[in-house]
Amino acid sequence: MRVKQFLTDAIIVVNGSKFHVHKLVMCGCSPFFKDLFTTWSTPDNIVFYVPNITMSMMQVFINFAYSGCVSVNKDNVHELFIAADRFQVEGVTLECCKELSRSLSSQTCFDTWRITKDFYYPELKQEVLDFILNRFENLVATPGFLQLSVEDLMTFIDCDDLNVQQERAAFEAVIIWINHSPQDRQEHLQTFLSKIRLSFMDGQYFTDHVLGNELIRQNRKLFNHLIQSMKQMLDIQQGRPIRISPCPPRVPRDAIVAIGGWNIEQPTNAIEIFNKHTKRWVPMQNPDPTPRSYHGAFFLGGCVYVIGGFGGEDSFCTMHEYDLVRQTWRESAPMHVRRCYVSVTFLDGFIYALGGFDGRDRLRTAERYSSETNQWRMIAPMHERRSDASAAPLNGQIYICGGFTGDMCLMTAESYNPQHDHWTMIPQISSPRSGLCVAAYAGEIYVIGGFNGVNRVTSLEAFNPENNRWRFLPAMTHPRSNFGTAVLDDELYVVGGYSGDCTTNSVEKYNFRSGEWSFVSSMEVSRSALSCCVVRHLPNMAALSGTTRLEK
């Protein structure tokens, strides 16, 4: 009808080109055209001149008004988005937002960020901001980072949710940005330093690289701020209360949660979360309704699943699910078998519960849970009876090591292939051990600590499936068994446990890159037989991890 000019009642003129349209159709796609045909003209007017738009862009809007379809791609999305916003073509701006979201990458994120600042699309803006904050350390190496404005970089550096493993990364990013154009940018150093959490840096790094930086040494205006940061750094290191306004620690994107365990002569329901930036354990306010020990735990879809365990008298087959956002507990489907001393892990959408002790027998049976169906299903049994073993996933398979048969500690290990529902024996670990922990990192399986039948051990060894061999690594400082473990930011954390004399609240970590062990702040509750997992990307992480911005 439009092409044949049948019953058209308006002519839109763009740079001399005429488009015959129906007013009613155009009004349906945009308030701009409704105002153009009514508020801004007389009823008898049929010719309308529209400036500041190309002929091709007007053609896109007219086609969209009649068909409801628009072709948006990475080549035209920026131009189309700006024009559609100006002419209030909401359907086109929506498609542009979808394309900008789909194409969001390290190459496009800063350009897209600049667009979202000029136009009010809060959901897209938040998505782009989250993308940049979560990948900030990698984005520093991109050309777009060096072209950021002062205001944009300040926004990112000031944000509590900036995801950096260590605060030094934020400092180094600012120095890189300033050094790209020092004459123009050096004057902003003082403002940037006020946004960087200097007090939460490593002390040696602060001395060598912050105080030793030539730009900083030349600026005497910074001295008072640096001295105050050093004082607060000492307070943090010595565990004294600190006032974190106006520059609190970053909100961790990921955090370790320690759940339950055995404390003195009974199980505990205590839950603590470790804030890697403040290096402190924070008690959670809504603990498990059922105190338990020798259980397993895993984080999935915003919830922590606590599986099996021992309550002081009975072994459990139950599974409790804790929603960390709503902070509510509910009971999910129980396992087929009671299991304490159970090995729990996760692979390809399923939670696995392997072996354990049912109150009478040490088990070789295993089962897996689907959160989609809320059902457990038995899988092939292991070759060995294993309680007090440990397991981890790697490259599509599950590896379980050590454990106790009821008669002896094991040094055997095996792997499970879920596609074939089959267990295969692999080379043994160096010595028998139960109460050990197993973790996976960078293509290898790591076995830590445990009880060899006589003593608690400190040893750490790694298995490489490609060469089918174990190798020794530096040992822990303290011998322990029945502890919790988690891998966070290229480091292996060992939490609590039993020393042979008593339960402990001590925590140490192994840096995979440096090969060194170091101590971390102790938990508030001493316990063994606990379980740890890493929780990620929670909207209420600031509250959970005790990261708050105090008033000035």
- What's the sign of the alpha-carbon dihedral 369, 373, 377, 382? negative
| DSSP structure class, residue 315 | B
Predicted local confidence at residue 210, as pLDDT: 92
Per-residue pLDDT of the chain (552 residues; tens, 9 = 90+): 555 667 788 899 999 889 998 988 999 899 999 999 988 888 888 899 999 899 999 999 999 998 999 999 988 999 999 999 999 999 999 999 999 999 999 999 999 999 999 888 999 999 999 999 999 999 999 999 999 999 999 999 999 999 999 999 999 999 999 999 999 999 999 999 999 999 888 889 999 999 999 888 888 888 888 888 888 888 777 766 655 555 678 999 999 999 999 998 899 999 999 999 888 999 998 898 999 999 999 999 999 999 999 999 999 999 999 999 999 999 999 999 999 999 999 999 999 999 999 999 999 999 999 999 999 999 999 999 999 999 999 999 999 999 999 999 999 999 999 999 999 999 999 999 999 999 999 999 999 999 999 999 999 999 999 999 999 999 999 999 999 999 999 999 999 999 999 999 999 999 999 999 999 999 999 999 999 999 999 999 999 998 764 433
Neighbours of 257 (CB within 10 A): 24
Residues 340/295, Cβ–Cβ less than 8 Å:
yes
Query: Tokens 């929670």 belong to which residue?
Result: 538
Strand ranges across the sheet with 362-370: 343-347, 350-357, 362-370, 375-379
Whole-angstrom Cα distance, residue 154 to residue 247?
A: 13
Whole-angstrom Cα Rg for the chain: 30
Q: Tell me the two tokens of residue 539.
A: 């909207």
Residues 183/216, Cβ–Cβ less than 8 Å:
no
Query: What structural domains and CATH numbers belong to the chain?
Result: 10-119 (3.30.710.10), 135-237 (1.25.40.420), 254-544 (2.120.10.80)
Return the closest-CA partner of residue 132 out of 96, 108, 102, 149. Answer: 108
Residues 450/457, Cβ–Cβ less than 8 Å:
yes
